[in-house]
Structure 1
């Protein structure tokens, strides 16, 4: 019975987090036009 209660509480917490993020919405901003470097450039 305790496991069922813990599962319900966890599911409710996850649902509340999802609804909060949905209500706040995506952050405003723009992406950088410069590409990201994935490797360290070699020095000659």
Structure 2
């Protein structure tokens, strides 16, 4: 029974944390205009 209560408490805390972070929202910012290099340079 204690394990069930502990699991329910942990789930409730995790859900509260997710809801709090969702309410705060994402920080303001912008993405870089330069694209990331995703290819490997050719070997000589």
Q: TM-score per shorter chain, which class? A: 0.7 to 0.9
User: Which secondary structure state, in structure 1, belongs to the residue aligned with residue 6 of structure 2?
Assistant: helix
Structure 2: tracts of 5 or more residues without a match: none
Q: How many residues align?
A: 44
Structure 1 residues 1-42: Cα deviation after superposition (integer angstroms, max 9, x where no partner): 011011111111111111111110111110001122357768
Match of 2:23 in 1: 23
Moved beyond 3 Å, runs of 4+: 37-42
32-41 vs 20-29, which deviates more? 32-41
* TM-score, scaled relative to structure 2: 0.72
